[in-house]
Amino acid sequence: MNKIEIYEKLRQLISKEAVLLDEPMNKHTSFKIGGPADIMVIPESVEQVQWAIKVCKDNNIPYFIMGNGSNLIVRDKGMRCVVIKIADRFKDVIIEGTKVVAQAGILLSTLSKKIMAKSLKGFEFASGIPGTLGGAITMNAGAYGGEMKDVIKGAKVLDQNGEIKYFSLEELELGYRTSVIQTKGYIVLEVEIELEKGNYEEIVAITKDLTERRTTKQPLHLPSAGSVFKRPTGYFAGKLIEDSGLKGERVGGAQVSELHSGFIVNVDNATAADVLGLIALVQNKVRENFGVDLQTEVRIIGEE
Residues annotated as part of the active site: 177, 227, 297
Beta-ladder partners of 143: 146
Helix residue ranges per DSSP H, 86-236: 108-117, 133-138, 169-172, 180-184, 200-217
CA distances from residue 245 to 218, 240, 248, 264, 291 in whole angstroms, order as listed: 18, 9, 9, 14, 15
Contact in structure between 168 and 152 (CB atoms under 8 Å)? no
Q: How many residues does the chain have?
A: 304
The CA–CA distances, whole Å, from 241 to 143, 231, 299 equal 20, 12, 20
Distance between CA atoms of 197 and 200, rounded to whole angstroms?
A: 9
Cβ-contact 282, 290 below 8 angstroms: no
Q: Can you tell me the distance from the alpha carbon of 84 to that of 69, in angstroms, rounded to the nearest whole number?
A: 11
